[in-house]
Amino acid sequence: MNDSYKDVAGLMAAQKKCVVLSGAGISAESGIPTFRSKGGLWEKYDPTVYASIEVFRKDPSKYWEIRGDFIKNYDRYQPNAAHRALRELENMGIVRQVITQNIDGLHKKAGSENVIEIHGSLREIYCLQCNKEYLAPRVPEGSPPYCVCGGVLKPNTVLFGEQLPPQALEKASLESQTCEIMLVIGTSAVVYPAASLPSIAKQHGAKIIEINIEHAFGEADVVILEQAGTAMTRLLEEIKLLIS
Ligand code: NAD
């Protein structure tokens, strides 16, 4: 395990082009349950039903039932050591791009600038009728809440059954094709097309480093089985030792 950190730090410190793909696991230490967390929201609600566009069209209150609390409490959720380490690595010129499946906005809250939120963000909420934008946590009361014009509000997130924004997906794919290292942090790598990005990177010659509490990506070159916050703090320390 110790050698893994040193090896990965060595690669990253050599200024290889490093891209990150993050998933729900990176935000677990910020108190946001993953799809698979014990006792989490998703034990009660099947996300493929409650977070589907088909259900949203029929009854938007179902999506607001599972997401409304997060949106109202948006300011309470804070980035953890892993998000902060990635921001610092971006500032050091080592991490070039973060691609996240998360919709919690925590990479941007941590100060990372090059972030592709491929599934959108709960921070932005739009009226489906007049397109007026609301920013979490400031949304009208109600489940679903309605715009001043009377239209239904929908968070700017990609629901099951919806296409990913083509520009974001195209950029994510290009970054995956041209990186030399991909850190795959806290994702079960089962939700497509995001789950295909590490394979794309690998096919184009990148080294894949997985950081997870349970090994999920079969093609990883190095697997660090550790909580994201602990692992990224350690990795950042090792990189600093090498470049100081
Ligand atoms: P997932 O829930 O399918 O898998 C989470 C992964 O994180 C698992 O592999 C688990 O072993 C790992 N993990 C859990 N705790 C960890 C920790 N402390 N450190 C490192 N790894 C940890 O998540 P996913 O692969 O991102 O699934 C994709 C879908 O889940 C996306 O569509 C995403 O929008 C949605 N989602 C997002 C959030 C969020 O925005 N925070 C939360 C739940 C689900």
CA distances for 120 relative to 52, 124, 182, angstroms? 14, 8, 21
Same-domain status, 192 and 216: yes
| Amino acid letter, residue 63 | Y
Angle at 175 between CA 171 and CA 126, to 5 degrees: 35
Token output for 190: 């089962």
The rounded Å distance from CA 162 to ligand 1 centre is: 19
Same-domain status, 24 and 53: no
Q: Is the pLDDT of residue 168 over 50?
A: yes
Ligand 1 nearest atom to the CA of residue 23, by list position: 26
Same-domain status, 45 and 68: yes
CB 112 less than 6 A from any atom of ligand 1: no
Range with lowest mean pLDDT among 48-57, 100-109, 143-152, 200-209: 48-57
Same-domain status, 188 and 229: yes
Task: Give the burial class of 189: count Cβ atoms within 10 A of its Cβ; 0-12 exposed, 13-18 middle, 19 or more buried.
Answer: buried
Percent of the chain with pLDDT over 90: 87
Q: Is the pLDDT of residue 40 over 80?
A: no
Same-domain status, 173 and 56: no
Which pLDDT belongs to residue 28? 96
Mean pLDDT of 23-49: 84
Q: Whose CA is nearest to atom 34 of ligand 1?
A: 102
**What are the pLDDT digits (tens) for 121-141?**
999 999 999 999 999 999 999
State the total domains in the chain. 2
Assign 1 a pLDDT band (cuts: 50, 70, 90): very low
Which pLDDT belongs to residue 39? 67
Mean pLDDT of 42-65: 89
Ligand 1 nearest atom to the CA of residue 103, by list position: 40
Which pLDDT belongs to residue 135? 97
Same-domain status, 83 and 68: no
- 3-class secondary structure, 120: strand
Point out the catalytic residue in the list 83, 107, 119, 204.
119
Question: Of 157, 174, 204, which one is at a domain's C-terminal end?
Answer: 157
CB 4 less than 6 A from any atom of ligand 1: no
Question: Of 157, 177, 208, which one is at a domain's C-terminal end?
Answer: 157
Return the CATH number at 61: 3.30.1600.10
Same-domain status, 92 and 15: yes
Assign 5 a pLDDT band (cuts: 50, 70, 90): very high
Q: Check if 83 is active-site.
A: no
Pocket test for ligand 1, best of 35, 41, 108, 115 (most atoms within 8 A of CB): 35
Same-domain status, 174 and 224: yes
**What are the pLDDT digits (tens) for 186-232?**
999 888 899 999 999 999 999 999 999 999 999 999 999 999 999 99
Same-domain status, 177 and 231: yes
**Is the backbone peptide bond immediately before 60 cis, with ω within 30 degrees of 0?**
no
Same-domain status, 147 and 219: no
Pocket test for ligand 1, best of 20, 27, 34, 71 (most atoms within 8 A of CB): 34
Ligand 1 nearest atom to the CA of residue 190, by list position: 25
The mean pLDDT of the chain is: 94
Same-domain status, 23 and 46: no
Return the CATH number at 229: 3.40.50.1220
Domain range for 3 is 1-30+79-119+163-244
Same-domain status, 181 and 228: yes
